[in-house]
Amino acid sequence: REAAERRAALEPLRRRARRAEETAHRLAAEQQALDRRLAAPEAFAGGSGPLVEAMRRRAELARLIAEAEAEWLAAEEAIEDAARL
């Protein structure tokens, strides 16, 4: 019974960790797709506007990925700490 209660108490942390992991993976996939676009020489031949926007988005994605990974790590650490109790 105590084990079931402990598992139930950890479930919100597990959901938080899963959401953060999924977010990090989704953002990383978007970043990889953007990197492929940036690597294509013809992608930005029409001017610098689209290139500037793509670089801004890439910087934003890097920040969001770092935040999601930090959230994921924090949730996993909280799970480990709670499991030790």
**Distance between CA atoms of residues 59 and 27, nearest Å:** 12
Q: 19 near 75, Cβ under 8 Å? A: no
Check residue 43 and give its pLDDT: 77
Q: For the residues of 10-65, what is the DSSP string, one character each?
A: HHHHHHHHHHHHHHHHHHHHHHHHHHHHHH-GGGGTT-HHHHHHHHHHHHHHHHHH
| Per-residue pLDDT tens digits for 43-80 | 777 778 888 899 999 999 999 999 999 999 999 999 99
